[in-house]
Structure 1
């Protein structure tokens, strides 16, 4: 990743995510305090919610036209209330969930051989099918490159080996990943 943000900026983004969800539950909108210069940039992001080590919601985008603080706020609410795999996050669940933020680099076209597990996320496109997996997913599951590519295809609703076909586009990106248990 070509950029880094400090501990205080990370803490502010995590607070923004949590308070955005809490405010949404109360029928209000959250407006963060003064945004430091360090967070004055546009970037895509994903916000993941985990309860006891299990995914409870994850939504993100690759937008490069929205301030990172605003994007984190919106993606946190979508992860909590609009992930079709889960029902809306309850107040009790918010109290015990761990929030993880992935700030994304721009995507670049890549070959399968250029993908590095632990560094790269993958975005697969073929026809109308699309699938994305964040860099940490391969590490968390102990996948090698081929398994990571296969699983990204599955996520896109494609056959596992669709990444080998000439009309399948592979894009890669990096992510700065941090959560409430690990601000380092």
Structure 2
């Protein structure tokens, strides 16, 4: 996976933050680049923290439009539509930290025990059940590959051992993960 340059990363963080500020009505929405690597179609997740508390994390593997437009949409969605949290408020902006994860397309993993903790993110699907965890989650939590797979299944609303069943689709992806502040 080709990582983005520091300038491209900074631009995406600015687009994410600017899109949230535009949504909250405290600043104009940012302009989006029409060419270059940020204009390519790629999936992305945007994660929001206020202080140390997670306040939203939304993403897509199937981009509609450019990477910059995807990040802008996911940032606003994380700020207002993550069902786990109330919408972000203007008084939380001072403590807001934004992180972006730019994704590779997911691909099937035939040997499910071959998940590489710290490199792979996991996507599980079965019927209407879907769950995804970014690569950094397993590292932050100190999980091994089997725990990572189990936790992804639980997030999808499936039994923890569903990843071992052939009717459960297991895919992996990589992510270029970066953010504001010391920790993202």
Question: Where on the TM-score scale, by shorter chain, does this alignment land: which range?
Answer: over 0.9
Query: Could you tell me which residue of structure 2 aligns to residue 156 of structure 1?
Result: 156
Query: Could you tell me which residue of structure 2 aligns to residue 15 of structure 1?
Result: 14
Mind listing any 5+ residue stretches in structure 2 that lack a counterpart?
none
- Select between 63-72 and 29-38 the one with higher mean Cα deviation: 29-38
Question: Distance in 2 between the 1:29 and 1:84 partners?
Answer: 26
Q: CA deviation at 1:155?
A: 0.3
Query: Could you tell me which residue of structure 2 aligns to residue 86 of structure 1?
Result: 85
Query: Could you tell me which residue of structure 1 aligns to residue 67 of structure 2?
Result: 68
TM-score normalised over the length of structure 1: 0.92
Q: Is the 8 A contact 1:42 1:66 kept in 2?
A: yes
Aligned residues: 182
* Partner SS for 2:101: strand
Q: 1:24-78 deviations in whole A, cap 9, x for unaligned? A: 1118861426456232311010000012222110110001442000000000000
Query: Could you tell me which residue of structure 2 aligns to residue 145 of structure 1?
Result: 145
Question: Distance in 2 between the 1:12 and 1:182 partners?
Answer: 18
Mind listing any 5+ residue stretches in structure 1 that lack a counterpart?
none
Q: CA deviation at 1:4?
A: 1.4
Query: Could you tell me which residue of structure 1 aligns to residue 180 of structure 2?
Result: 180
TM-score normalised over the length of structure 2: 0.92
Q: CA deviation at 1:113?
A: 2.0
**C-alpha RMSD of the superposition:** 1.8
Question: Distance in 1 between the 2:179 and 2:41 partners?
Answer: 20
Q: CA deviation at 1:9?
A: 1.0
